[in-house]
A = this chain, B = another copy of it.
Amino acid sequence: MIIVLKPNTSEIKIDSIVQRVESMGLKAQVILGTKRTVIAAIGEKKEGTEELFSSLKDVEKVVPILASYKIASYETKLEYSQITARDLKIGGGQVGIIAGPCSVESEDQIMEAARFIKKTGAKGLRGGAFKPRTSPYSFQGLKEEGLKLLAQARDETGLAVVTEVMTTDHVDLVCKYADVLQIGARNMQNYHLLQAVGETDTPVILKRGLSATIDEFLLAAEYILDQGNHNVILCERGIRSFETHTRFTLPLATVPYLKERTHLPIIVDPSHGTGIASLIPSMSQASIAVGCDGLIIEVHPDPSKAVSDAAQTISLEVFEETVQRCLLVANSLGYNLDV
């Protein structure tokens, strides 16, 4: 159930209600909105519990949560969440852009990319340091050395660093360098990893698994939220269908569909979603037009030399033009693309 508090309820009173919830064997999650605070009380309730809380002085009303994803559900918060990391703002009316190479390869590569990305007005820098690769014999990333290069790029440019964490053992290490953690599609249902990042307060981009249903996607987010980290950004990156002309099939309808169900922001990854560089500019425009909260795009100073994902990586120049055209679309529809 959701316990909706009256406006301006003090922290002390919130704490007291939380204790009451917990004393009944329920789990309490405080969700701070810009307009109101709610407490999600999760677990099996005895009869009469809702009435009990309804009658408290600071409680406006108590409503049941119908969705299986409790904290992620829009009905729990009734306003869209905005997740921020440095100047990057995603959700709650703001559209942000994250760009960068698939893998961090060298100081020159990441610094050149970061400086250019900064110039375009994008606010996030992506780059893989720990790389999940289909084959054990493929390049597995520069690891901590890659994280340090990302931090160096952040220090110079101010861009928020987005990078993947692949295993619970690395969560502390990656958090030391990253502004936003990424959970890759292969790990969407790696529940211990979800719980581990849920114990931090670093924002998390959760990529949709390639064959995940929307409910599975939201319940994976719920694993993070349930640990207390509410800074979760969903990312549609394409699903596996029978189509082979594109690397994956990118269903943009996910965006408005999720907007009807969750307060979490939803961004689109047109690079993995198509796997083909020439389709990325138009699919980026379409993603903005469909109402996404952000884009994450693979760019490289010299795509043909990228050590991974070369076919789906665009050049800095194409990226710049893409940003400009996305801005035209956003402006025409009244969306705040922050570049």
Contacts and interface: CB of A to CB of B under 8 A. Distances in A.
Scoring A167, A192, A216, A251 by chain B CB atoms within 10 A of each residue's CB, the highest score goes to: A251
Tally of this chain's copies: 4
Nearest to A188: B186
A84 interface: no
A250 interface: yes
A240 interface: yes
B213 A252 contact: no
A48 interface: no
A278 interface: yes
A68 B283 CA distance: 27
A100 to B, nearest CB: 22
B166 A169 contact: no
A329 B241 CA distance: 29
Interface stretch (A17-25, A128-136, A155-163, A199-207): A128-136
Contacts of A68: 135, 137
Given A331-B332, A332-B329, A333-B328, A255 B282 contact: yes
Given A252-B250, A282-B256, A42 B137 contact: yes
Contact of A249 (B246, B249, B285, B329): B249
Interface stretch (A111-119, A287-295, A313-321): A287-295
16 contacts: A42-B137, A43-B137, A132-B189, A167-B168, A168-B169, A187-B190, A190-B190, A239-B249, A240-B242, A249-B251, A250-B252, A253-B283, A255-B282, A257-B276, A285-B291, A331-B332
